[in-house]
Structure 1
């Protein structure tokens, strides 16, 4: 039996376990019919991917299926999140039929965006109660970033390729942000969307644990079976153990997604009735976070939990308990079987692959030298500079494992400032929105705490990784969720003010 079909059997079994255990707690948040429809769609598209044996056939059949599913879906972001990590984000060029070399690159993520988010964006733009794009600061900063990226692309390539890159920015950057920021309008919408992301991450987590345990990348053979070459998805190890990647293509990308899911789970779990279901979900995400053996996401997950605690009730007491638990865990790990290996993997404590930390330090030092030559708008040929050439690794590549440095090198300090300002404005907006709920146990405040902590964690993690595979589409989407939350709180404030004014005007 071919490897990809053997892997399919394992994947289907693991998915059945997750969906069976998750069905009851999921119905505490959403209708059972929505859960079953999305679950069946996940299974159907997975089977299509593994049995199609041709990526074009998968794209064509998937487009039909997704177009039908989108019409029946009440929450497009929930559908998008549920299927976002279905298969690896391999890309194929659409032929130019003799006019140009190729039109655009298509992948599962872009197929999903075009079939689910594009119709949703069009429908939202026609609704009178949808805020027009450009009316708030995150919109303006995002638009400015896109314009700058398109303009700077012209200096290194042709007009045709610039148009191609503009299309990519619209699909990969604008649509996830726009639909997320406009389509979620009340708490039920947020429950639905965040639960979908968490469920999809449960699947990634259990698959990642299986890959780690069996030393087998379950999706590694799929791209070859579909006739698509893919440079990612290679076997990587750390400390003698396989670094799981599931469908994300990179171990650190898997850890990043699971970290984001942990942040969103902090909100979702509050609505799950049975404690055993909450504990199982938390345990699965913790195991999924460990499986990639990526230290950046571990730090990010710690930051997410710390930020969530800091904005809640009894923060000081909980921080003390958390610190005591951390202090006690270190000596405990040194005596339990396998604990020494875990200690060696920990950032700032362990001694496994410490050269990666040295590489990152050198990357920062050399990048700062290159940035100083073209500080405002960067340069397109920064990789050819002597400082960057000295960073070539054994694979013959220059791995810029820092999203902020990558932006500063390509787009200069102007591009970096727009990127940072976009998320900073959203974080400030969420923090101000939390003040509308003096009760720290209010569910609206709980949602804001979860989104605030998740965004802070994302900004920490991308300091350790470039924006590869699914990483950017996740942070643009979560940014959109933050804007949707800010708008929801503003609507609540206006409604409360109107009710208060009407009450005062009523005759006594």
Structure 2
């Protein structure tokens, strides 16, 4: 039996287990009909992908299925999140038919965005209750960033390539942010969408555990069967163990997704009635975070948990208890069988692969030299500089393992500042609106806590990894959720003030 079909058996079994266990707790937050329809679509598209043996056959079938599903979907972001990690996002070029080399690159995420989010974005623009783009500070900062990038593309590339990059910016950046920031308007919308992300991450987590235990990257065979080349799909190990990646292409990206899922899970788990189901979900995400063996996401996940606790009730007591557990676990690991291996993997403590830390330090030093030559707007050919050439690794690549450094090199300190300002403005809006609810157990405040912690965790993790594969679409979408949250709270406050004023005018 071909490798990809053997992998399909494992994937379908693993996903079947996850969806079977999640069915009852999921209905605490979403309608069973929605859960069933999205689950069935996940299985259908997975089967189509593995039996298509060609990306374009898959794309054609997926376009039909996604179009039909969108018409029945009441929460497009939930559908988007549920299918976001379905197959690896390997790029496939669309032929230029002899006129130009190629038209555009397409992958699963762009196909999903065009079929699900684009029609929704066009519909939202026509709705009277949709906030116009440009009305919020994140909108304006994002617009400035996009304009800057387009102008820099005109500076350094051809007009044809610039048009291509404009399309990518619209599909990869604007649409996920815009739909996430406008389509979610009620608490039930947030619960539905965030649970969909968590459910998709549950499947990824268990697939990652299977890869780790079997030393087998399950989706590599699919790419080979489709005839798709992807440089991200290689085997990586650490401490003699395979670093799982599932559909994300890189172990650190899988860890990043698990960290984000943990942040969203901190909110949705509060609505799951059965404590055992909450525990199983937490353990599964923890396992999914561990098996990539990526230390950056471990730090990010820890920060997410700490911030979520710090912004809740009895914060000092709970943080103290968490610190105590952490301190007691270290000496316990040192005496347990295999504990030394675990300690060696831990950030700031372990000694395994310290060369990665040295590489990151050299990258910061060398990149700063290059940035100073073009500090404001950077340059697209920064890789050709002597300092960057000295960073070439064994595989012949220069790995810019830091999103902020990559931005500063490519679009300068101005572009990087706009990027950071975008997320900072969202964080400030979340915190401001979260504090409007003095009751720390209010669900609106709980949602704000989860989004605040998750976004801060994302900003920490991307300091350790460049924006590859699914990383950007996740942070643009979560940023959009933060804007939607702030807008929802403003609407609630305005509605409450109107009701109070109306009641005061009633005759007594």
Give the Cα–Cα distance (whole angstroms) in 2 for the partners of residues 454 and 447 of structure 1: 11
Give the Cα–Cα distance (whole angstroms) in 1 for the partners of residues 389 and 447 of structure 2: 45
More displaced stretch, 153-162 vs 10-19: 153-162
Is residue 390 of structure 2 the alignment partner of residue 385 of structure 1?
Answer: no
Give the Cα–Cα distance (whole angstroms) in 2 for the partners of residues 213 and 385 of structure 1: 42
Contact 1:110 1:172 in 2 (8 A): yes
Query: Which residue in 1 is equivalent to 2:18?
Result: 18
Question: Per-residue deviation at 1:310?
Answer: 1.1
TM-score (norm 1): 0.99
Contact 1:155 1:380 in 2 (8 A): no
Query: Which residue in 1 is equivalent to 2:186?
Result: 186
Query: Which residue in 2 is equivalent to 1:313?
Result: 313
Gaps of 5+ in 1: none
Secondary structure of 1:450's partner? helix
Is residue 128 of structure 2 the alignment partner of residue 116 of structure 1?
Answer: no
Output one character per residue of 1:13-68: Cα deviation in whole Å (capped at 9) or x when no partner: 00010000000000011110100000000000000000000111000111111011
Give the Cα–Cα distance (whole angstroms) in 2 for the partners of residues 240 and 98 of structure 1: 48
Contact 1:80 1:116 in 2 (8 A): yes
Output one character per residue of 1:109-138: Cα deviation in whole Å (capped at 9) or x when no partner: 000000000011011011111111111111
Give the Cα–Cα distance (whole angstroms) in 1 for the partners of residues 59 and 122 of structure 2: 22
Question: Per-residue deviation at 1:229?
Answer: 1.0
Secondary structure of 2:312's partner? coil
Query: Which residue in 2 is equivalent to 1:234?
Result: 234
Question: Per-residue deviation at 1:462?
Answer: 0.1
Query: Which residue in 1 is equivalent to 2:276?
Result: 276
Give the Cα–Cα distance (whole angstroms) in 1 for the partners of residues 70 and 9 of structure 2: 28
Give the Cα–Cα distance (whole angstroms) in 2 for the partners of residues 460 and 404 of structure 1: 10
Question: Per-residue deviation at 1:501?
Answer: 1.4
Secondary structure of 1:104's partner? strand
Secondary structure of 1:465's partner? coil
Give the Cα–Cα distance (whole angstroms) in 2 for the partners of residues 173 and 136 of structure 1: 17
Question: Per-residue deviation at 1:504?
Answer: 2.2
Query: Which residue in 1 is equivalent to 2:477?
Result: 477
Query: Which residue in 2 is equivalent to 1:244?
Result: 244
More displaced stretch, 269-278 vs 133-142: 133-142
Give the Cα–Cα distance (whole angstroms) in 2 for the partners of residues 494 and 99 of structure 1: 55
Output one character per residue of 1:121-160: Cα deviation in whole Å (capped at 9) or x when no partner: 0110111111111111111111111111111112221100
Give the Cα–Cα distance (whole angstroms) in 2 for the partners of residues 6 and 274 of structure 1: 35
Secondary structure of 1:154's partner? helix
Give the Cα–Cα distance (whole angstroms) in 1 for the partners of residues 214 and 398 of structure 2: 31
Matched positions, count: 508
Output one character per residue of 1:293-343: Cα deviation in whole Å (capped at 9) or x when no partner: 000000000000011011101111111101100000000111112211110
Question: Per-residue deviation at 1:99?
Answer: 2.1
Secondary structure of 2:103's partner? strand
Query: Which residue in 1 is equivalent to 2:3?
Result: 3
Output one character per residue of 1:255-312: Cα deviation in whole Å (capped at 9) or x when no partner: 0000000000000000000000000000000000000000000000000001101110
Output one character per residue of 1:324-373: Cα deviation in whole Å (capped at 9) or x when no partner: 00000000111112211110000010010001001101101111111111
Give the Cα–Cα distance (whole angstroms) in 1 for the partners of residues 38 and 46 of structure 2: 12
Output one character per residue of 1:74-110: Cα deviation in whole Å (capped at 9) or x when no partner: 0000000000000000111111112221111110000
Pairing 1:193-208 to 2, within 5 Å after superposition: 193-208=193-208
> What's the RMSD between the two structures over aligned residues?
0.7
Give the Cα–Cα distance (whole angstroms) in 2 for the partners of residues 441 and 54 of structure 1: 50
Query: Which residue in 2 is equivalent to 1:450?
Result: 450
Pairing 1:229-378 to 2, within 5 Å after superposition: 229-378=229-378
Question: Per-residue deviation at 1:506?
Answer: 2.3
Pairing 1:132-211 to 2, within 5 Å after superposition: 132-211=132-211
Give the Cα–Cα distance (whole angstroms) in 2 for the partners of residues 183 and 358 of structure 1: 44
Gaps of 5+ in 2: none
Pairing 1:428-447 to 2, within 5 Å after superposition: 428-447=428-447
Give the Cα–Cα distance (whole angstroms) in 1 for the partners of residues 354 and 65 of structure 2: 47
Give the Cα–Cα distance (whole angstroms) in 1 for the partners of residues 10 and 381 of structure 2: 45
Query: Which residue in 1 is equivalent to 2:99?
Result: 99
Give the Cα–Cα distance (whole angstroms) in 1 for the partners of residues 399 and 33 of structure 2: 45
Give the Cα–Cα distance (whole angstroms) in 2 for the partners of residues 155 and 214 of structure 1: 49
